[in-house]
Structure 1
Amino acid sequence: MVGPATRTDFVRYQGASGDMNPIHHDEEFAKGAGFPTPFAVGMWQASLLGTYATDWLGAENVRNFRIRFLEQVWPGDTLTCSGEVTKQYLQDGERRVDVELTCLRQTGGKAVTVWATFVVPEPGTDQENSHG
């Protein structure tokens, strides 16, 4: 669980990513654009899912990562990341899994969904044991 989200979280991500659009930190700018308050850069939520997935399956094992942005995240939101394996198969001599990852707001609304493919290390290997 992450949160409650703060503008500081948004600005930290903006600084790291180089996306300094004021709609994500400037109250007057956000209101002038028709929003009640600044909101998170969607890639912040995607990065939370990326970290969740790579902590689970290993960054070196990512083969594909596809993102769909669904709802904005606002200051005060609490986010929960989850994931499930949707397919297991062999491809190019590797055991692979497809996973669906979700970042939910406390309202139950989906902020971001990710579909990703990972290589699954063979049981008993150093790589498998380092993430087990």
Structure 2
Amino acid sequence: MATTVKYDEVEVGTELPAQSFPVTRATLVRYAGASGDFNPIHWNEKFAVEVGLPDVIAHGMFTMAEAVRVVTDWTGDPGSVVEYGVRFTKPVVVPDDGRGAVIEVSGKVAAKLDDHTVRVDLTATSAGQKVLGMSRAVVRLS
């Protein structure tokens, strides 16, 4: 599938549509099953607290994947992402309260590069705290 975003029509500073991603304990259990990452810090509150965490936390790779969805939804093509990296700054704490947590993600075109690519800088927060730092994707546009 080709990207629906045209390189010539995008400017530095273009904002991508922001999105919110809910995360519950059930979400984490499903992700654990899909990823094979059954570390108890992602599902066992007692264990998470014993190792110094405030509560169960979302998988880092899950948080990273949710953030890049802002980019892939914008381009319409997951294959448009040619490079992606983040620094994990804070965990997404997921309480067992029926509501869980929410990851808020926004993005902005930070640079136009060669070969019809742009760099998108993402901001991801949860509970008012930045959870990913240096979150950047290089995306090939048509």
Q: TM-score, normalised by structure 2?
A: 0.75
CA distance, structure 2, for counterparts of residue 61 and residue 2 of structure 1? 21
The Cα shift of 1:77 comes to 2.4
Q: Say whether 1:102 aligns with 2:123.
A: yes
> 2:16 corresponds to which residue?
none
Matched with 1:68 is 87
Structure 1 runs (4+) deviating above 3 angstroms are none
* Letter of the structure 2 residue corresponding to residue 45 of structure 1: T
Q: Does 1:77 align with 2:101?
A: yes
SS in structure 2 of the partner of residue 74 of structure 1: coil
Select the structure with the greater relative contact order (CA < 8 A; seq sep ≥ 6). Answer: 2
Letter in 2 for 1:74: V
Structure 1: gaps (5+ residues): 122-132
CA deviation profile, 1:76-121 (whole Å, cap 9, x unmatched) = 322211100000132xxx21101111211131x1111421111110
The match for 1:112 among 100, 124, 132 is 132
The offset of 1:36, in angstroms, is 2.9
- 1:14 aligned partner, one-letter code: A
Contact 2:42–2:57 under 8 Å retained in 1: yes
Distance in 1 between residues matched to 2:37 and 2:72, nearest whole Å: 23
Q: Is the 8 A contact 2:21 2:103 kept in 1?
A: yes
Q: Which has the higher helix share?
A: 1
Say if 2:37 is the partner of 1:19: yes
Using the size of structure 1 for normalisation, the TM-score is 0.80
Q: What is the percent sequence identity of the aligned residues?
A: 34
Structure 2 counterpart of 1:55, one-letter code = D
Cα deviation, 1:12-64, whole Å, max 9, x if unaligned, reads: 11111111101110122112212232111111110101222111122121111
Aligned equivalents of 1:34 and 1:120: distance in 2? 43
**Cα root mean square deviation, aligned:** 1.4
Distance across 1 between alignment mates of 2:62 and 2:68 = 10
Match of 1:44 in 2: 62
